[in-house]
Structure 1
C-alpha cells in the first residue's frame, strides 16, 4: 500500500434533505453504506452514458452534520418519528402508510477513480457538478447544495499529501468499519446480536458517599481499558435467502431477482486527522457466495464471508 497513488474525486459538503435514516429493519440513524456506494455507482453509470469512461473503485464518507427527524416530549420515554403530511383519502381520513425515518445531513464524499487521464479530469468535475445540480438523489434524499468538486492525487505514506486531504474533510467524522470488535466478542462465545448491543448499551450505576449523597455514573464498554470510541450500528449489505430467478413485474427484466436480508455490523465515526492512510476511510464492494457487502479493504477476505460472518442478518 505504501507509495500507491490514489486518484481521488472529492465532493465536499453535500447537503442532503430527507435522506433515508432507516438503515436496516432494526436500526435508525446514519444512512446505510449501501446507499452511499449505490449513489456513487449511479453517478458512474450516468457519466459512462455521457461518454466519460470513468470507473469509481471505492468511496469514503465523512459526516459533518446530521439532523435526525425524531421528537421526544418532556414526559416521553422514547423518541417518535416525525412523519410527512400525506394527503387525505376520499373520506377525509388519513390514509394508511408506513412511517419512514428521515434525516437531513451534510457529508463529503471521497471517491477513488481510475481510467482517466489528466486532461479528462476537468470534464469529469464539470459533468459531476451538472448531474448533482440536476436533482440527483443520494440515500433517497434531495441534494440541496454542495461545494465545488475537485480531483486530488494522494500517495499512500506521503504525510503532506494526506494532510492536504484531511484539511478538506475537517471538521467531520469518517465512518469506518469496526467488525473487529464483534469478532473479538464472538471469539469469547458471545452471540452476534449480544456482541453488538454490548458495545452500544449505556450502563448506569450509582455511588454513595459518606454523607449518603448519591451520584449517578453512566459508562459504555471499554476496549483495552480505553473508551471504545463513537461506536454505531451500520448496515453494510445483504445476504441472499432465495435462488436467483425471475419475478413477476420486477423492475429490471435483464437482471435476476432474489430475496435478501440486510446485514448489520459495528462502525465507528472517527475524525480524519486520526487516520493515517486514504485506504483507512475507503469502502469497497465485496461479494462472495450469497453475501453482497460494502466493506473496507482490511476486512475484504473470502474467509470472512463464511457462515460465521460477524454481521447480523435481519429480514429485509
Structure 2
C-alpha cells in the first residue's frame, strides 16, 4: 500500500497564467465543470516523461489555481453544452459521435519537485533556464484534453529551491503566493462529507455517504412556516461554508487486476489492467492568501493495491481541527 502523505519536496515550480481552450468539462459521470485533480496529476506524469530523465526533475505533486473559466454552455435555468456535429460520414450524414462538454480555462499550476544531485547544486540562472524549458514543453501537451494557447502574462515560470529551514520555506511560499492572486485554489474537504453525514443521521439513521454527498452537491429548498403563518421557501446552503463543490478524486476497482495482455482492446500489452469506477468527495475553491503552507495546496496520487483504490489526495483538511478521515470517498 502506498504512503498516504505528501512525499518530501525539494523545489516548487510555478507555471503562471496558462490559457487552455476546449478542456474536458465532464470529469466524471455525476458532475461537470472544472477538470478534477486526476487530469492534472496525469499531466504531471506526461510532462515528466516528455522531459526525460536527463532533466533531473521528478514531479510528485501539483497545485491547481483557477483565475477564470468559461463553460461552453447556453441556456438560462437549464444549461446545455455547445456541441459540434463533425465529422460527417462518407454519405454526408452526421457521424454517431457524442462530443464531450468543453470549457475554457485560465489557470496557474504549482508543481512539487524532487531534484537530483546536479539540480540541487545548480545556480539560480540554471534553474531559471530549466523552468523556461519546462514551460515551453508544457505548451506542447494537452491539459484535460484542451489546447494550451500562447499566454499574454508578463510572469515567467519560476523554479524555487526550498530551504531546509521550515521558517524560510514559509517565507518563500508567502512570496510565491502573491503571484497566485487573484484566483482560487482547489483543496480537498473530505471531512465535511463525514460531518454532514452525522448531521443527516440525526433525522434519518439510515442515511449514507451518498445521501450526504448529494445533499451537499445541490441547493435544497425547503418550506418553512413564517411568523405570520405563511410558508416561506429557504435554501439549505448556509452562509460562511465557502465554495464547496462535488469532486471526482480517483477510481475504485470493480474487478481483480488482470495480467498484461489478458484483456483484449487495452492500450498496450505490457501493463496490467483492471476495470474501475469514479470515486467522489468534496472540494473547495479557496483564495490562495488563506493557505499558509504550500503542502496544503498540492495534490498527489496514491494507491491502495489491496483495496483497489487509486485516488488523489490533498493535505489541506489535515491542517484543520476537524477529524481527518483517510478515505472520505463514495463510488
Correspondence for 1:174: 185
Correspondence for 2:158: 150
- After TM superposition, the score normalised by the length of structure 1 is 0.84
The answer as to 2:293 corresponding to 1:277 is yes
Correspondence for 2:32: 28
Give the distance between the partners of 1:56 and 1:178, measured in 2 at CA. 24
Give the distance between the partners of 2:171 and 2:148, measured in 1 at CA. 32
Give the distance between the partners of 1:247 and 1:5, measured in 2 at CA. 37
Correspondence for 1:163: 174
- In structure 2, relative to structure 1, the CA distance for the partners of 1:10 and 1:271 (3 Å cut) is same
1:232-243 mapped onto 2 (5 Å cutoff): 232-243=245-256
Cα pair 1:283 1:294 within 8 Å, conserved:
yes
Q: Secondary structure at the match of 1:41?
A: helix
Correspondence for 1:297: 315
- In structure 2, relative to structure 1, the CA distance for the partners of 1:82 and 1:311 (3 Å cut) is same
The answer as to 2:50 corresponding to 1:46 is yes
Correspondence for 1:121: 127
Give the distance between the partners of 1:268 and 1:85, measured in 2 at CA. 35
Structure with more of its chain in strand, by fraction: 1
| 1:230 paired residue among 217, 224, 243 | 243
Give the distance between the partners of 1:238 and 1:94, measured in 2 at CA. 33
Give the distance between the partners of 2:9 and 2:32, measured in 1 at CA. 36
Cα pair 2:25 2:103 within 8 Å, conserved:
yes
Shift of residue 6, structure 1, vs aligned partner: 5.2
Correspondence for 2:321: none
Q: Could you tell me which runs of 5 or more consecutive residues in structure 2 were left unpaired when the two chains were aligned.
A: 319-323
Count of residues in correspondence between the two structures: 296
Runs of 4+ in 1 over 3 A off after TM superposition: 153-160, 186-190, 203-210, 214-219, 297-300
